[in-house]
Amino acid sequence: MTTSQTPSYVRLHVELVLEVSDPDALTGTALESIAADFTASGAAADETAEERTHAEETVREDAAEALASLIDPFDLVSQVPGVELAQASWSSETIDYDPEDEAWAVGEDGDEVYYGIEDNETDDEEGGGHTER
């Protein structure tokens, strides 16, 4: 196998902070998506009704759950040429967010802190050390 034929894997970390400006619209869209998923699933009626009821209750109670039910990592990369999704996981949570707080800084300084490369400290010879939190 040549280098171009050898499979390589990339872990892509993405963190988003989203403002829910219309919780009713979010919940409504999540409920519509659940209805469409369960209609198309073809599962046994008893299982479908119980699972659907649970899913609907969950998205009604928590905007973060409603959002998570609408996000599909496959959809995010399905149109990217030359890649296939090998594995994905995601979660959501309601947070306290203050865009003025330095802890939420985005950009070079925030990235340097997140990736553990403050003050030119690195973990590898290339100078691109990465430390996960």
Predicted local distance difference test score (pLDDT) of residue 2: 52
CA distance 95 to 64: 9
CA distance 79 to 27: 27
Could you tell me the pTM of the whole model? 0.65
Which residues, given as ranges, of the chain have pLDDT below 70? 1-4, 41-47, 106-133
Predicted local distance difference test score (pLDDT) of residue 3: 56
Predicted local distance difference test score (pLDDT) of residue 61: 96
Q: Which of 69, 106, 111, 110 is nearest to 90 (CA)?
A: 69
Q: What is the DSSP string of 33-64?
A: HHHHHHHHH---HHHHHHHHHHHHHHHHH-HH
